[in-house]
Amino acid sequence: MLKHVSFVTRDLSAVLAFYERLGGVAEKRVVTAEGYGRGVVRLGEGKLQFFEVSGEAPQPHPHWAEHIAVYVRGLRQLLPQLRAAGVNVTRNLQPSPSGRDMAFVHDPDGRQVELLEAD
């Protein structure tokens, strides 16, 4: 099940307003510990997450800046199967900020995919 999709933006206010005009509901607007603006918009069952970068600021870490996050069941068993199938694991199993098991992998096109243990 899709949790969220994350993107980098140069204008957080404009992008949040755009998705609100499309029927989204802005759920969060904060500054991360690294100093990036972060906004979350709920669109139906899923969420879009945006990290604001500007000017000469360094790009956010690719693990969390632009990625797709999905819930999966049995992540501890799935991760070794993915490795055996040649999937590039870019961040090993660890607790997420919410305490769930989490890992990052690349899809066949090289996109970051965050895997989170489902309830």
**What are the pLDDT digits (tens) for 16-45?**
998 898 788 999 999 888 788 899 999 888
pTM as predicted: 0.72
E strand spans, 2-96: 2-9, 25-31, 37-43, 46-52, 67-72, 89-95
74 DSSP 8-state letter: -
* Residue 6 CB-density burial (10 A; 0-12 exposed, 13-18 middle, 19+ buried): buried
- In the chain the domains, ranked by start, together with CATH numbers, are 1-64 (3.10.180.10), 66-119 (3.30.720.110)
Confidence (pLDDT) at 119: 83
